[in-house]
Structure formats: structure tokens, C-alpha cells
Amino acid sequence: MAPTVEEPRGAHHSVLIGMSSTRIIASETQVQRRGVGTKGAEFARFVEYKLGPAMLESARTAGVAPTEPLFLILDNASIHHTKDVQAAAARVSSRIVLTYLPPYASTMNPVELLNSDLKAAMRRRETTGGATLRNVISRCLREDLRDSSTRFGGYYRHCGWY
């Protein structure tokens, strides 16, 4: 049964997720009016203030040498190709290398598998009155899709990254 949530009609939700091969390292849910998706500048802020710093911390925790590049794999959404995003990544660290998938290569994108699992978790989750979709998404990411090197490593293996 799909969750019943209280949201204003016409709300559009964008979920930005950064993941490593072991866990979700950064996420943000944006709520906008229908027909308005995430803009390049908003994605750049996510990269600069959440994802980039989380990538550096994740690499440090994993014992990756401070001189090793950190690859941020992006699909070809137009918001990923803005100068704002490139500048945001550079401001965080010169180690962050933006790496773009070939066009129409969703089968190479591990986040697509996570998105599929997120949608399935949302359908399974029963909510009580008053829950917002943003809260349901957050709970699914935090509780149902919690850190699991088996899960996240499997996403990367399935997509052929190792």
C-alpha cells in the first residue's frame, strides 16, 4: 500500500542523493511547485555544502590517501553540466573530479538502483496521518536503506564499476 501523506496539491519533490560504495553520504529533498525541478544553482549548493564535504570525510574515514582523486559520477541531466556545479566542486577540493556517464547510460548509474529501492521502500512504508512526503523519504533513506556495504557495493558491481 502506498503511503498516505499530507502535501499541498501540485508539490514536486526532488531527491538529491550522494552515495559511496558503502552508504548514503549526503541527501536532500527539495519541495517545489509542480513543473519546477531542481535548478543548476541549487544542485551546485548541494555539491558545495553537503556532497563535496561528505565525499572528503568519507574518503578520510575509508583511509583513502589525501592525494587520490575522488570521482563524482553524474548522469547527463542539464543541471549537472553548469559552470556553477564545476565551480562548486572546485571550491570544495581539487580532488573532486566530475565524471559524466555516456548519454542514455542509466544502467551504469548506481544511484538509479538506489532510487528504485527508495521507491519500493516508500510503497512498503505505512504512514500515520500528518506525515509529509519529505518525512517519508527521509525515514526511508535513514531507516530502510541504512548503511550496508553489501547493498551499496552491489549497486556499483551491478553497474560494472568493479
The rounded Cα 40 to chain-centroid distance in angstroms is 15
pLDDT, tens digit, 9 for 90 and up, residues 18-62: 988 888 889 888 776 555 567 888 889 999 999 999 999 999 999
Q: Output the nine-digit C-alpha cell for 66.
A: 589525501
* Cα 158 to Cα 162: distance, rounded to the nearest angstrom: 8
Q: For the chain, list the domains and their CATH numbers.
A: 11-158 (3.30.420.10)
Residue 142 pLDDT grade (very low, low, confident, very high; cuts 50, 70, 90): confident
